[in-house]
Amino acid sequence: MERLGNKVALVTGAGQGIGRAIALRLARDGADIAVVDLNDENMQAVADEVRALGRKATIFKADVSKRDEVYAAIDHAEKELGGFDIIVNNAGIANIQSIANVTPEEVDKIFKVNVEGVLWGTQAAAAKFKQHGTKGKIINASSIAGHEGFPLLSIYSATKFAVRALTQASAKEFASDGITVNAYCPGVVGTDMWVEIDKRMAEITGAKIGESYDKFVGGIALGRAQTPEDVAAFVSFLAGPDADYMTGQAPLIDGGLVYR
């Protein structure tokens, strides 16, 4: 029996990287998938991959920093896929800048995506779950940077600490409705985001391209960089019945890099 059989999951930022891996893993485990992103071509490719796994898929273009668009995405998922059970608030961006030089525009942009995006997704999903009396699951993207602040990643870290706070508070608020809220905290994942992080760190510090990435990977106890599939496997656990008694948590899944 499929763990997520006939469940409907919406994944934001699902067009690439970790979001794509999450969408495909949830589909393999039996869920139908609403693929939400800003890139039409990427969304369509992931939806086709989901359908190739024998599951239904729909796409919806939305900017998660805009509340109305997030609500519309969830309405679309419910209408097209016949239900709504799981949201993965995965969409996020990075900011690599020294505290001394970060600008108001940079702060505003990353908080709107990484924090408000999670807030609106949580709010909209909870409203839909309560409307139907569904014991839904809300799963948010935090990070190792949500447990420890890193140099040149201060503002990014602040957003991921904020996601943990939202996760804890909303878990307490929605527990009486049977809605669980958890987060996942990846480490150094081989995605386009980390390519950009490494590039920006090289620009700021004078390090060679690849040097910062290799330094972080060198600190991982399991001896390798993380894959998007490593993250997706844990998210699928959070989405499934084995995590029904878990709420308000933000576990690290980083191969042994940050310890709490």
Q: Among residues of the chain, what percentage have pLDDT more than 70?
A: 100
Which amino acid type is present at position 15?
Answer: G
Q: Among residues of the chain, what percentage have pLDDT more than 90?
A: 88
Rounded-to-integer distance, Cα 227 and Cα 88, Å: 18
pLDDT in tens, 82-94: 999 999 999 999 9
Helix or strand or coil: residue 63? Answer: coil
E strand or H helix at 253: strand 252-253
User: Known catalytic residues?
Assistant: 156
Contact 29, 238 (CB under 8 A): no
Statement: residue 183 has pLDDT above 70: yes
pLDDT in tens, 57-90: 999 999 999 999 999 999 999 999 999 999 999 9
Structure confidence at residue 211 as a pLDDT band (50, 70, 90): confident
Q: Tell me the pTM.
A: 0.96
Across the chain, what does the average pLDDT equal?
A: 96
- Tell me, what's the pLDDT at 213? 85
Q: Report CA-CA distances (Å) from 245 to 9, 90, 97, 194, 235.
A: 19, 22, 39, 33, 15
Q: Is 99 exposed, middle or buried (0-12, 13-18, 19+ CB in 10 A)?
A: exposed
Statement: residue 1 has pLDDT above 80: no
Statement: residue 205 has pLDDT above 70: yes
- Tell me, what's the pLDDT at 35? 98
Angle between helices 192-205 and 211-218 (to 10 degrees): 110
Statement: residue 4 has pLDDT above 60: yes
pLDDT in tens, 103-140: 999 999 999 999 999 999 999 999 999 999 999 999 99
Q: Rounded mean pLDDT of 26-33?
A: 98
- Tell me, what's the pLDDT at 50? 98
Statement: residue 45 has pLDDT above 90: yes
Question: What domains are defined for the chain?
Answer: 8-189+227-253 (3.40.50.720)
Statement: residue 212 has pLDDT above 90: no
